[in-house]
Every structure is written in structure tokens, then in C-alpha cells.
Amino acid sequence: MLVNEHKFLEVICGRQSGVAPALLRGLLSLLEPFYLAGAQSKNFLFDTGLKKPQRVSSRVISIGNVTTGGTGKTPTVAWMCDFFERHRLRPGIVSRGYRSLDDEGNDEHRLLQKLCPNVPHFQNRDRVAAARQLIDSHHPNVIILDDGFQHRRLHRDLDVVLIDCLNPWGYGHVLPRGLLRESARGLSRASIVLLTRADQVTEAEKEIIRQQVRSYTDCPVVSSRFVPTGLRNSGGEIASFSELQDQKVFAFSAIGHPEAFRRTLNSVGFELDDDRFLQFPDHHHYSAEDLSKILKTASAKDSVSLMTTAKDLVKIGDDRIGDLPVWAIEISLEILDSQAVWEETLLNAASDERLPES
């Protein structure tokens, strides 16, 4: 599965050449219109009023994207929770709970519990039911609907759409030929667009993305980046990057954009060759066999420490794999421009009463 997902992405992005990849891209192109028709049909029902979004008594802010995974929704949700708490609001989180194994929820739920310990988080495939349960039990005045852009059944007061500057349009095709969940024209529903990883492209490249966004919507467009802040293990111990930079390290991840994680590692002084990085599918649940493979591969490279993401660490739940310590890189969202517009938009959507920051 690990190898197949990586090869699949290599095929759809066009890096794999030859007869077999070309045939596969052709087959996927034949399937693409069917997926697109399904997405357009659902949107048509809501756009024309044949289906009505269901309202709840709290304000709802949706965070989503037009491509599959890896745009940075989880650190953005954490930033918003902190922001609203500082403005004396009571946020709550609702999400689907994709690939949950038990009552503790999926990897995003476990990570957000650590990042936002005072914010209730309900997961349910029925997001309307989850929102109502959250309101009944915790009385939030603003609900953050995680990954909600395509889930139109729950009414929202603001649609925040994240676009990853490293792959803004999912290779230019809708699933399964590309990574778009719907046509990019769906951006016309966005209230505000947040460009993520804007620091990892040139100003010229960022401006092209901005112009592309503006061809679909005239809503505000804000740039951001994810700043690595330090290292932490599952026991809560903290380390600086400089403490480990002289060590031989090995990295692994199971996230939607592993290449962005590698770029983050490089930015703080850990430059890893391909043979020092192991990639698993997004939301992958680590088995004992997986952990053994990580340990064996890392040990063969004389590694003395393991690096992963905070989202991966919560699934492992231990500060060591075998005799090797495991460290997660912590990141936080930083707004690069139009911060006043960004914050004003969020506060206006979250509350009728403007409260001073505490």
C-alpha cells in the first residue's frame, strides 16, 4: 500500500513516463467525468435551493479545501481555537472522524486534543448531528467545522478555503485523475482563501496562484506559512533543533503532503536523503510490523533518533521505537499578509458582539 500510493501520485502528476503510466492516466481520465458529475449534482441541489443547509444555534466556520488532504487544516484549526479563546469566545470543533479506529477518534482528533485541550471536539459522519450534540453538551458560541467545504448539509457563516501553494490545483484534474475534490469553480462559494506554505514558493509563483484564485472569486486572499517551533516527544519533553542537528536522524510520516514535511526538516537543519525518509499513506495506522520496519531501516543507516510529525506521534503513543527516541516537529500557523483582514473576517463571522482580546 505504501509503495502503491507513492507510485500512484507519481503517475497522476505526470512524472512517471512510459506506456503503462500513460495508459493508467488515460483510464483515470475516463473515470474523471463521473466523479465530477457527482460533485456537480450535489452542488446543484444546494445552489438551486432544492436542498437546504440545516442551521444550528451556534455560529459555524468551515475550514476546507478543494483538493484532497495535506493543505494544513489541523494547525489552522488549532490557531483558530486559540484565537477565539483569546477573544473570550467558546469554540468547539466538529469533524467527520475519517479513519477513526476507536472512541479516541482519528489522528486529527487526538492531535487537536493535545493542541486545544479545553476545546470540545465531536466526530460523526453526520456533521449536523455532531454540531447539535456539541451545542447541547458544551454550549459553544462558534463551531469550527473541520474539512467542511464539500459538506454543505450544515449551514455555515463563513467558508475558509485553504490552498497549498506547493500543489494548488491537484495536478489540474478532479479525482481520480487528479486530486481536486470538485471543479476549482467551487471556489466561488469561498468567503476567504488562505494560501498555505506561501513561503515555499517565489513571489511570482504566489502571484500567479492569487490571479488564478481571483478568476473564480473576489473574496479576500491571505498568505500564510507553517513555522517549526521545536521538538516534543509523547512524554511531553521538549528539545531544540540544535540539540539534534549533529545526530544521524531518520524520518517517517503518514500525512497528506509528506514532501512538505521533508521541506520543514530541511529548513531546520535536517537534510535527509531518500533513504533516510519513509513515507506511509495518509492517515495510516501503524502496525507492529510498520514500527519494526521503521526501526530496522533507521538502524541500518546508523540513526540515533527518529523524526515524525505531531499527527503521527499521537498514533504511536510512545517516546521510543525500539531503542531509538521519537521526536515530533511542532508547527504553528503564521499569517504573512492581510492579518487585519483575516482576523476581522473571523471575528465578524464568529460573533455579533465584538469582544476585546483578553
Each domain of the chain, given as residue ranges in start order, spans 2-47, 59-227+334-350, 228-331
Q: 309 labelled as ligand-binding?
A: no
Q: How confident is the model at residue 100 (pLDDT cuts 50, 70, 90)?
A: low
Q: 172 labelled as ligand-binding?
A: no
Residue 124 to residues 12, 139, 193, 209, 255, Cα–Cα distance (Å): 31, 18, 26, 34, 21
- Tell me the per-residue pLDDT of 226-284, one tens digit each, with 9 for 90 and over: 999 999 999 889 999 998 888 899 999 998 888 889 889 989 988 888 889 999 988 88
pTM of the model: 0.90
Q: What is the CATH number of domain 59-227+334-350?
A: 3.40.50.300
Q: Is the pLDDT of residue 120 over 70?
A: yes
d(CA 135, CA 68): 29
Q: Is the pLDDT of residue 55 over 90?
A: yes
Averaged pLDDT, 165-181: 95
- Tell me the per-residue pLDDT of 22-35, one tens digit each, with 9 for 90 and over: 999 999 999 999 99
Q: 229 labelled as ligand-binding?
A: no
Among residues 137, 141, 145, which one has the least CA distance to residue 97?
A: 145
Q: 48 labelled as ligand-binding?
A: no
Q: 67 labelled as ligand-binding?
A: yes
Torsion, Cα 327 333 337 340, to 10 degrees, reads -150
Over the chain, what HEC string results? CHHHHHHHHHHHCCCCCCHHHHHHHHHHHHHHHHHHHHHHHHHHHHHCCCCCCECCCCEEEEEEECECCCCCHHHHHHHHHHHHHHCCCCEEEEECCCCCCCCCCCHHHHHHHHHCCCCCEEECCCHHHHHHHHHHHHCCCEEEEECCCCCCCECCCEEEEEEECCCCCHHHCECCCCCECCCHHHHHHCCEEEEECHHHCCHHHHHHHHHHHHCCCCCCEEEEEEEEEEEECCCCCEECHHHHCCCCEEEEECCCCHHHHHHHHHHCCCCCCHHHEEECCCCCCCCHHHHHHHHHHHHHCCCCEEEEEHHHHHHHCCCEECCEEEEEEEEEEEECCCHHHHHHHHHHHHCCCCCCCC
Q: Which listed CATH number (3.30.1490, 3.30.450, 1.20.120, 3.40.50) goes with 228-331? A: 3.40.50
d(CA 150, CA 152): 6
Find how far residue 157's CA is from the centre of its chain. Answer: 21
Structure confidence at residue 121 (pLDDT): 96
Averaged pLDDT, 296-314: 93
Residue located via cell numbers 495506522: 285
Q: How confident is the model at residue 99 (pLDDT cuts 50, 70, 90)?
A: low
Q: 51 labelled as ligand-binding?
A: no
Q: Is the pLDDT of residue 1 over 70?
A: no
The answer to whether domain 59-227+334-350 and domain 228-331 are alike in fold is yes
